Amino acid sequence: MTGTFGGHPRGSREYRRLLAALFIAGVATFTQLWSAQGVLPQIARDLEVGPATAALTVSGTTAGLAAAVLPWSWVADRIGRLAAMRIALVGASALGLLAPLAPSIELLVGVRMVEGVALGGLPAVALTYLSEEVDRRHAGVAAATYVAGTSVGGLTGRLVAAPVAELSDWRGGLAVAAAVAAVAAVVFLLLAPRARGFQPGTVRGARHIVSVVRTLSRDRVVVALWLQGALLMGALVTMYNYLGFHLEEAPFGLPPAVASLLFTAYLAGTLSSRMAGALVDRVGRRGVLLASGALVLVGAVLTLVPVLAVVIVGLVALTAGFFAGHAVASGWIGARASVGRAQATSIYTLSYYAGSSAAGWLGGVLFVVGDWPAVVALVVVLAIAALLVAGVAAREHPASSDAAQ
């Protein structure tokens, strides 16, 4: 490592290896994180638990990840970004392979929660690692490659686990998804070039971090963006957690493997997140956030129509709205934070996954009480709250000044 290292230039061998490694790391992480979502109905039936309890295999993992984001950032400041990511992926891979062996729902949720703690090392560190190792002129392209890996991983976990589970059981589905993630983790370990940009500095104590967070909390826009991530992610995860249960019922009667194909609606998010960036220049962040919340709201309501084609349209709309809103909010938080940008971003990530954990579990309770309309009602409430939160941010930052932020 040298003091003059300016980052790997685009097109260099190390640059290509680093991007490929982080794409694969995204696949490894999010394949494990979301694989259980594709087999929730099978888990509920086999372990004789309700939808809300089965969904703890997802919510527990995201809760563990949320709780681990700040600690992992602290660890990475001490031992380096690459070392932290290596430890996280190895630990998560081992736990992912153990999870299908759990004999009870309690042990399954417990292992998945600890797995989430391990997985938190990637979202907490990956983008910082990129900023240190890649020429800053190309950092945006590099970050987009990592994000693409996370979306591919999330889709892979869901699409692999469900069909395998139908051929065997949910344990087989989770095991195959974990094996895919483990192979991806090994590829990351082999590909990632040695870190050259990390320079250990003064590691701040807990008192300093608390002081920074307190300062950030006085900014209504920052708080609004933290809430925006929690509400939108809560809406998305609630919808996807219980859609499989809904589509098994009349009038649809879809087998799990077929229902899991609806997870391909995630591809709408790839398009909408890219479009959101272009739309900010035209209508401002305020306009994109309001449009995103409206799409989530309309999409949720459309899933009430007992026609599969309409449900698909609603799911695509909701997914596109979520990813557009998330793209804008996550970018805005870094631009808005006047101090403690790393902490502001980490708390956004924490809020994002905490929202998914809480709403993802509550949706199951409502599903038992009021079936699918009750789940949709929760998503509608979250979408309306997201619209109100976007309005708070907009009042602080008029559309005319968005583009300057």
Q: What are the tens digits of pLDDT across the range 342-391?
A: 678 788 888 989 999 999 999 999 999 999 999 999 999 999 999 999 88
**pLDDT value at 140 more than 70:** no
Mean pLDDT of the 95-111 span? 96
- Label residue 118 by pLDDT band (50, 70, 90): very high
The whole-number pLDDT of residue 184 equals: 95
More confident residue, 123 or 340: 123
The whole-number pLDDT of residue 334 equals: 67
- Label residue 399 by pLDDT band (50, 70, 90): very low
The whole-number pLDDT of residue 347 equals: 86
**pLDDT value at 105 more than 60:** yes
**Structure-block tokens of residue 71:** 């600690």
Share of the chain above pLDDT 70, in %: 90
- Label residue 271 by pLDDT band (50, 70, 90): confident
Whole-number mean pLDDT of the chain? 87
The whole-number pLDDT of residue 253 equals: 93
The whole-number pLDDT of residue 51 equals: 95
**pLDDT value at 398 more than 70:** no
- Domains with residue ranges and CATH for the chain: 1-195 (1.20.1250.20), 211-405 (1.20.1250.20)
Mean pLDDT of the 95-119 span? 96
- Label residue 405 by pLDDT band (50, 70, 90): very low
Q: Tens digits of per-residue pLDDT, 190-228?
A: 998 888 876 665 556 667 777 877 888 888 888 999 999
The whole-number pLDDT of residue 393 equals: 67
